[in-house]
Chain A
Amino acid sequence: MTTRIFGSGIKRREDPRLITGEARYTDDIKLPGVLHMAVVRSPYAHANILSIDSSAAEAMEGVVAVYTSEDIGDGLAGLPTAWLIPDSDLKTPEHPALAKGKVRYVGDGVAIVLADDRYRAQDAADAVVVEYEELPAVIDPEEAAGEGAPLIHDDVEGNIAFTWAPFDEEASNAAFEAADVVVSERILQQRLLPTAMEPRSAMAQYNAATEELTLWCTSQNPHIHRFIISAVTGLNENKVRVIAPEVGGGFGSKIPCYPDEALVSWAAIKLGVPVKWTETRSENYLITIHGRDHVQHVEMAASNDGKILGVRATVYAGMGGYLSTAAPGIPTILHGLLYVGPYTIDSVYCKSIGVMTNGTPTDAYRGAGRPEATFLLERMVDNVAREIGMDPAELRRRNLIPAFEDGHDVAAGLTYDSGDYPAAFEKALDMAGYGDFRRQQKSAEAEGRYLGIGVTAYTEMCGLGPSQVAGAVGFQGGLWESATVRVTPTGKVQALIGASPHGQGSETTLAQIIADELGFPVDDIEVIHGDTTETPMGWGTYGSRTTPVTGAALAQASRKLKDKARALAAHLMEANVDDIEYADGSFSVKGSPDQAQSIQDVALMAHLAWNMPEGMDPGFEESQFYDPPNFVYPFGTHIAIVEVHAETGEIDLQRYIAVDDCGPQINPEIVAGQIHGGVVQGVAQALCEGVVYDDNGQLLTGSMMDYCMPKADMFPNFELGETVTPSPHHPVGVKGVGETGTIASTPTVYNAVLDALAPLGVNQIDMPLTSAKVWSAIQDARS
């Protein structure tokens, strides 16, 4: 009996090149004659540009040109916002590649310098003299939406870019009025820095004779980048080739099309030589999108016996100085539709107000809208539990949606695909020893030690998603994927995909799907991605969608090939197709197992085409477009156990239990890796990460000296468990798992800490829960 490759935790085939430094990133690509671009960036968060004097810079050795927005003129269109949420009175202020007359956040580009050397480019950038008239700045989104806030864009009245409130407010009010208990909290979802290991980089080369532009860039979605670069440069899309070579992580920050990518393209066209730009880490923190940034006013209604009746929130979502590519969709579609979570809540209301501020633009960051929803929901469940005096785990148990296999409609308007929330929940509680812990907690408290436990039950929507839904919610693209499975005459496989993985291990996972469907050894399968000329169209890697959507396309393309192989094998063995049996990559005739054709034999014969059945085309290659009929909804329960040291405010994360259900696991090691990384990022939001600006909009957390990235020694060994509930609508039943850890872990750890602090009378602390804040909260509660 052979071991099935689907479900096997084989090593990631990406890792040897990554670990040995042989991977080739954008900045590793060297072109002769390349010019280096440095960007003169605004030191002010909000200012009028009075004058720009580049004469000294232009005279410096090695400097080829200095350009401002005036020089670009109409050579570059403004960067588009590509998620136009409907019924929200959305304003899309112009986002020029270089500021026109006004800067709107620290780091906003004012001029570019092109020089023959990166150092000289920087020297010259420092020599560009810009005279500014500083204007009052505003960072807090709620404040920016208030009276008297400085106006950031003349055409965005009151700084309000959109107001999205699709639910029935009257019905929500009625539910709240009828409730025994209403709890409320003002929750700050602090700004976060995505901090991909590889900073962003872009290099463009233009061939004037063929009018072709090649752009190498750090992209999660090269086909979307091609689309946008074509739109902003005016080049025909077929003349633009975007290549995302090795990309060192993104977490959403490499979805948007940024000014820098447009600028290298424009300069390469203008000057006729290649132009490269690679950001520094300081630039990365200033100008690459930030995540989260919500001020949420949340309420939950419940009955005294623990029935959750409704949740409602008004959310001020900071957009920053401009609307980034997908920004409007994040605090709306990907947020408010998740307000029911895994619970039987009949009433939801969300009013999400997108507010322009003088911060760096925000956009999708791992989880994108769903962590912010899950946090508020889980926080409020704990608040209700405390209010009515019920154990928070018991309150969750009473409100979980019972198991369902094929569709469940919820009040937020979604139809969940499948779920068995109680099974994952009880498994996690068992793993944690919940009842025992509560007893230990009591005895510890008697000794003056403060232990706490946090439990999060979650589900989330990912595998984005049906294109019809994308259209209905204003996403300016489809959300299908396409893939080609191409088998060479010698029986080796090239799988070409439109998605663009950048560290997830998808080259391994997707190869396992193909190997499982067709019987090729997994090592004979190569997954090719990232080049718009080599690969078929796709919408990219984000929203935990590559395995669910691209994986489905590959499974279906493989099945087409298998049908062809079966028919050809039957023909070659002079048997009836219905008599062909398939096992482990071999086709045989029922009853004569000694007569067989391997998949490799069949591939060769299909290529040779010496003896094809009537009507069968030669070759061994199939393509598939796959538009998912629904999102997929992974789910699970996470539990954290912490001890808070009252003397210092330090938090010791002692145990972390995660039970996740992403359907059948193609590669359990990769699933575990995704959960580990996601949990670390989510816990970091709870405990240590957070952007801080001063009142003038200066970024104070501008380096890792102040912005606290999580460290390995902050974490215990994670205790993972799983349940397996296939998605009913997916060819191989799988759901996404790239974001679940981030979505579930922030409230889990936050609630654990607040549970520990409950005996001390502390009810709320803004994230991140630094020791200084925890200690101060304890002092305040005592005094």
Chain B
Amino acid sequence: MWPNKFDYLRAGSVAEALASAADGGKFLAGGHSLLPAMKLRLDSPEQLIDIGRIPELQGISANGALTIGAAATHAEIAASSDVQTMCAALASACGQVGDQAVRNFGTIGGNIAHADPASDPPTVLVACGATVNIQGADGARSVAAQDFFIDLFETALEDGELITSLSLPNCSDCQCAYVKFPHPASRYAIVGVAVCLKMDGGSCAQADVAVGGATMKAVKCAGAEAALTGTTLDDAALSAAAEAVKADIADDLIGDIAYPEAYRQQMAGVFLKRAVAAAQG
């Protein structure tokens, strides 16, 4: 409620933001992860560099693939017809972050930089093979979402680096969905499952599956993918995938006082089935 003293600077460009970051400090975009931590004095940066209005970080564009500016808000992404067409699961996940006020302020870049394990968008980004575009003092680089998330609140971002945008493949010919079991208290994910299915006739040619919420980071689930691929997504395949997904996440499980690891692991199986049903729906 009463943060420590800090300086505030609004950057007009990525270059200015990066130059300012050389003196230390933290980037502030929507502030919906950082400010609560500062209010509780869990984080006390000496300087906040506000990147929320930098023109280069804005906007969503579709040009064969999707490019989403890091400062795009959850509400913008959820409402974007391009995102709805090219990655419906991401639109859905962003539409389930927090409440409307949070979605109006919170940004996708801030969300993934924070890397809350219970957050919704990372699960979809990992499932759908997104790329995180990063700018640092030494130049630009891109990291696959799957490699970007390292651990609880830990990412591949180096000090002073800034996420500029996300790239997503065009998934408009896929059936994709994100389904979430919200924590009754916080509405963060107890477990969230994203699936992206490429169907060939009645058969599943390719399945991408990721699980978040129940895990330290969004986890790509190869076992579940294998159990679905080449099947007609019948009950037997779904049951096999539900079992497989529990094994896929077994090493990465987390829990809390109300929803322990074992429960979340089981629910990942239940919600995988629901995600596949939603994707096909």
Q: Which of B186, B259, B267 contacts A705 (CB 8 A)?
A: B186
Distance from B153 Cβ to chain A, minimum over Cβ atoms (Å): 14
Contact A770:B259 (CB < 8 A) given known A123-B4, A123-B5, A280-B1: yes
- Does B8 interact with chain A (Cβ within 8 Å)? no
Taking a contact as CB atoms under 8 Å apart, the answer to whether A706 and B257 are in contact is yes
Contact with A along B1-17 (1 / 0, CB 8 A): 11111000000000000
Name the B residues within 8 Å of A714 (CB-CB).
Answer: 184
A702 nearest in chain B by CB position: B40
With known contacts A688-B185, A709-B185, A126–B41 Cβ distance under 8 A: yes
Q: In the assembled complex, which residues on chain B have CB atoms less than 8 Å from the CB atom of A122?
A: 2, 41
Residue of A282, A771, A772 with highest tally of chain B CB at under 10 A: A772
Partner of B40, one of A282, A692, A704: A282
**Chain B CB within 8 A of A775 CB:** yes
Q: Which residue of B lies closest to A709 (CB)?
A: B185
> A772 and B260: CB pair below 8 A?
yes
- Set of chain A residues within 8 Å of B185, measured between Cβ atoms: 688, 704-709
CB neighbours of B3 from chain A (8 A): 119
Contact B2 A772 (CB under 8 A): no
**Choice from A119, A692, A709 contacting B257 with Cβ under 8 Å:** A692
A670 to B222 Cα, complex, angstroms: 57
Q: Is B258 an interface residue (CB 8 A)?
A: yes
- Please indicate the chain B residues that have their CB under 8 angstroms from the CB of A771 in the complex: 259, 263
B181 at the interface (CB under 8 A from A): yes
Q: Pick the contact of B270 from A118, A647, A704, A770 — CB < 8 Å?
A: A647
A409 to B: closest C-beta gap in Å: 44
Task: Please provide the chain A residues from 732 to 783 with a CB less than 8 Å away from any CB of chain B in the complex.
Answer: 770-772, 775-776
Please, what's the 1-or-0 string for A114-130, where 1 marks a CB less than 8 Å from any CB in chain B? 00001100110010000
Question: Within 8 Å of chain B (Cβ to Cβ): is A701?
Answer: yes
State whether the Cβ of B206 lies closer than 8 Å to any Cβ in chain A. Answer: no
Q: Does A303 contact B (CB under 8 A)?
A: no
In the bound complex, do residue B257 and residue A700 qualify as a contact, i.e. CB atoms below 8 Å apart?
yes
B266 within 8 A of A: yes
Q: A692-B257, A705-B185, A708-B185 are in contact. Are A775 and B2 (CB under 8 A)?
A: no
The yes or no answer to A648 lying at the interface (CB within 8 A) is yes
In the complex the two chains form, what is the Cα distance from A195 to B9 in whole Å?
36
Which B residues from 234 to 281 make CB contacts under 8 A with A? 256-260, 263, 266-267, 270
Interface hub of A122, A280, A705, A711 (most chain B Cβ within 10 A): A705
Distance between Cα atoms of A692 and B259 in the complex (Å):
13
Task: Give bound CA distance, A700 to B258, whole Å.
Answer: 10
User: Is the CB of A281 closer than 8 A to any CB of chain B?
Assistant: yes
- Identify the closest chain B residue to A278 (Cβ): B1
A775 touches B263 (CB 8 A): yes
Q: Which residues of B contact A281 (CB under 8 A)?
A: 1
- One of B5, B40, B186, B263 near A706 (C-beta < 8 A): B186
Q: Report the separation of the CA atoms of residues A119 and B256 in the bound assembly, to the nearest whole angstrom.
A: 32
Alpha-carbon distance between A775 and B265 when the two chains are bound, in angstroms: 13
CB distance B267 to A708 under 8 Å? no
Give, as a whole number of angstroms, the nearest-CB distance from B245 to chain A. 15
Closest chain-A Cβ to B152's Cβ sits at a distance in Å of 15
Q: Bound complex: CA of A280 vs CA of B2, how far in Å?
A: 9
Contact with B along A22-47 (1 / 0, CB 8 A): 00000000000000001000000000
**Hey, which chain A residues are within 8 Å of B257, CB to CB?**
692, 700-701, 706
Bound form: Cα–Cα A118–B257 in Å: 33
For A688, the closest partner residue in chain B by CB is: B184
Nearest A residue to B258, CB-CB: A770
- CB proximity of B265 to chain A, nearest CB, Å: 11
Known contacts A648-B267, A648-B270, A688-B184; is-contact A282 B259 (Cβ 8 Å): no
| CB within 8 Å of B: which A672-718 residues | 687-688, 692, 700-701, 704-709, 711, 714
In the complex, residue of chain A having the shortest beta-carbon distance to the beta carbon of B3: A119
CB neighbours of B263 from chain A (8 A):
771-772, 775-776
Q: Are A772 and B258 in contact (CB under 8 A)?
A: yes
Give Cα A776 to B266, complex, Å: 11
Cα distance, A687 to B25, chains bound together (Å) = 43
Query: Which of chain A's residues 82-123 have a Cβ closer than 8 Å to chain B?
Result: 118-119, 122-123
Whether the Cβ atoms of A119 and B270 lie closer than 8 Å is no
* CA distance in complex: A133, B263 (Å): 38
Tell me the complex Cα distance, A687–B184, Å. Answer: 10
A697 CB, min distance to chain B CBs, angstroms: 15
Which of A687, A692, A707, A770 has the most CB atoms of chain B within a 10 A radius of its CB?
A770
B5 and A648 contact, CB distance less than 8 A: no
Known contacts being A706-B257, A770-B259, is A119 close to B184, with CB within 8 Å? no
If A119-B2, A647-B270 touch, whether A706 touches B258 (CB-CB below 8 Å) is yes
Complex CA–CA separation, A122 to B44 (angstroms): 13
Nearest B residue to A117 via CB reads B2
- Interchain CA distance A692-B258 in the complex, whole Å: 9
Contact A775 B184 (CB under 8 A): no
The complex places the Cα of A687 from the Cα of B270 at a distance, in Å, of 21
Contacts of A648 in B (CB 8 A): 181, 267, 270
Nearest-neighbor residue (CB-CB) of B256 within chain A: A706
Residues of B within 8 A of A118 (CB): 2
CB distance from A774 to the nearest CB of B (A): 10
Complex contact A282–B267 (CB within 8 A): no
Contacts of A280 in B (CB 8 A): 1-2
- Most chain A beta-carbon neighbours within 10 Å: one of B3, B41, B184, B263: B184
Q: Which residue of B lies closest to A647 (CB)?
A: B270
Q: Closest chain B residue to A705 by CB distance? A: B186
Q: With A and B bound together, what is the CA distance between A412 and B57 in angstroms? A: 71
- Residues of B within 8 Å of A770, CB to CB, are 184, 258-259
In the complex, chain A residues whose CB is within 8 Å of the CB of B256: 706
Residues of B contacting A708 in the complex (Cβ-Cβ under 8 angstroms): 184-185, 258
CA–CA, A775 to B191, complex, Å? 15
Query: Which single residue of chain A is at the shortest CB-CB distance from B266?
Result: A775
CA distance A123 to B5 in the complex (A): 9
Which B186-218 residues sit within 8 Å CB-CB of chain A?
186, 188
> Chain A residues near B260 (CB, 8 Å)?
772
Assess the B270–A772 pair: CB atoms within 8 A.
no
Q: Which has the most chain A C-beta neighbours within 10 Å: B4, B41, B256, B257?
A: B257
Tell me the smallest distance from the CB of B125 to a CB of chain A, in Å: 23
CA distance A705 to B2 in the complex (A): 19
CB pair A704 B186 closer than 8 Å: yes
From residue 584 to 621 of chain A, which have CB atoms closer than 8 A to chain B? Answer: none
Q: How far is the CB of A438 from chain B (nearest CB, A)?
A: 29
Residues of B within 8 A of A706 (CB): 185-186, 256-258
A771 to B260, CA, bound (A): 11
With contacts A770-B258, A772-B259 taken as known, whether A119 is within 8 angstroms of B186 at the C-beta atoms is: no
Q: B181 to chain A: which residues have CB within 8 Å?
A: 648
Residues of chain B with a CB closer than 8 A to A711's CB: 184
Task: Report Cα–Cα, A776/B258, bound state, in Å.
Answer: 12
Interface 1/0 per residue, A199-234 and B, CB below 8 Å = 000000000000000000000000000000000000
CA distance A587 to B260 in the complex (A): 72
Q: Across the interface, name the chain A residue whose C-beta is closest to B267.
A: A648
B1 partner residues in chain A, CB cutoff 8 A: 280-282
A544 to chain B, nearest CB (A): 29
Q: How far is the CA of A470 from the CA of B128 in the complex (A)?
A: 68
Residue of B nearest to A121 (CB): B2
Q: Which 9 A-B pairs have the closest CB atoms?
A: A708-B185, A280-B1, A122-B2, A772-B263, A705-B186, A708-B184, A772-B259, A692-B257, A688-B184
11 further interface pairs, Cβ-Cβ under 8 Å (given A647-B270, A692-B257): A280-B1, A688-B184, A688-B185, A701-B257, A704-B185, A704-B186, A706-B257, A708-B184, A708-B258, A770-B259, A772-B263
Give the B-binding residues of A (Cβ under 8 A). 38, 118-119, 122-123, 126, 280-282, 647-648, 687-688, 692, 700-701, 704-709, 711, 714, 770-772, 775-776
Subset of 22 A-B contacts with CB under 8 Å: A122-B2, A126-B41, A280-B1, A281-B1, A282-B40, A648-B181, A648-B270, A687-B184, A688-B184, A692-B258, A701-B257, A705-B186, A706-B186, A708-B184, A770-B258, A770-B259, A771-B259, A771-B263, A772-B260, A772-B263, A775-B263, A776-B263
